Structure 1
């Protein structure tokens, strides 16, 4: 499957689910894990960082990522199994060894504040004949099988922060008018706080498979969960990539069950059953995911966007 868009963004001191689905894998093309070192501006840009947060990972690139439950024939290297509080975080380098030869082969991460994953070194993975990989589904099949729907729950602010950064860059500093509905509920407050108000606003809406293309300047579209390709509009709007699960949640919200009241209310009056939960505070996209995404985009060096980055 494609490397998840939310790979590096987490909630501190919160136990996270596995990063990948069981039976799938992804390859991380970038260096990961220790050693960590400072990079100058030119070298950081060559590695895709246009604003750096400090030290960058300098471990091997091309690591193969798996869900922890899919790994067989390995054991923990106990002296490297350090972590913050509820698990191990890979701070000491490879902590998983081959059970047969004791050779370090990868790093398991499952501490709070991290997506649970095992990162196998590229030199420890050998491709063997196996059953055919899961065929790539087209967009209609993804919709028909429900493959886009996953429970984001308390983690939905992370892909929302990624999408917010993509919208701000696509707008180029212009005001954005968000179409009424789920998009304005997700990003409206944040965009109003980050971008100026006034004339010449660019309209933002949802578009994608099974949804069509509204009349908008910017359209939020899903990223294919297997290939990482972005759905492309044909009507001339600028596509803005969004995590497929979050996009599906906005495009096709689950219907509420409505049952008639028995007694107590006038005939014909209905209520939600169960009553929808009220959020304790207005939704906000992840600030960390927003800043991290901007730092990986060349446009962040433009003065107007650097000013937004600095005040967030």
Structure 2
């Protein structure tokens, strides 16, 4: 399932998806981009454009955009499938502390300030993660350089991945969930050992129907696991419950050699999402939907989730 692969659709590039930074719109200087130098300093890929592109074996598509300066920008026409919160992950590199940048949709800043860290080398990559709220349909995303770092450049840019909200809704099916009841240690759901049925829907980035594999992560049996498909470029698992839960934490039991790079978002309406780590200590989140996101860390590992315990 190439959920994170760049796909051209009528009217723009598909979001969710991955955008190679060098694949900015056509149109030239002042229309598709602004670059402060006349020539393509790297001389690669699109040599007649002013955007500075270099060949790089470590870049995901073999090219990077570099020599980035204050005030430069790049536009990408996209087609956003689902409105709302998207996780954005930008692969960057910088020899020393880099500069800052932001992302706009239709000339409105939707990301806030993002910073390129010191990665130890111009070709030593890391991923900067942020959140953007996007409007559905055909729009223009703009990558804008705000300030240079100590090297007098913002940094090198490889690709930008946008992970959209899953299309989840409670279905008329239930799990006989001794595991879920036992995991919810609260007065409203005591761990009595009694078996109860909850309306709950589980979906994963494997994009199969019915998505039975995801149930292995919530069945109370640590000998079973949902294992993400290799080569997907990133994974997610979403759970939709039949009612709003009071959630204080989500504990994940990972299998051996599993990818453990993860974040948990929650929502009451599957529209506005909040990172669970942003909930103050001692407080509970009102959540009808949980969205576990596991970005690819480049190690080759895939997620193996034996059990997700919601408390």
For the aligned pair, the TM-score class normalised by the smaller chain equals under 0.3
TM score, norm. by length of structure 1 = 0.24
Higher helix share: 1
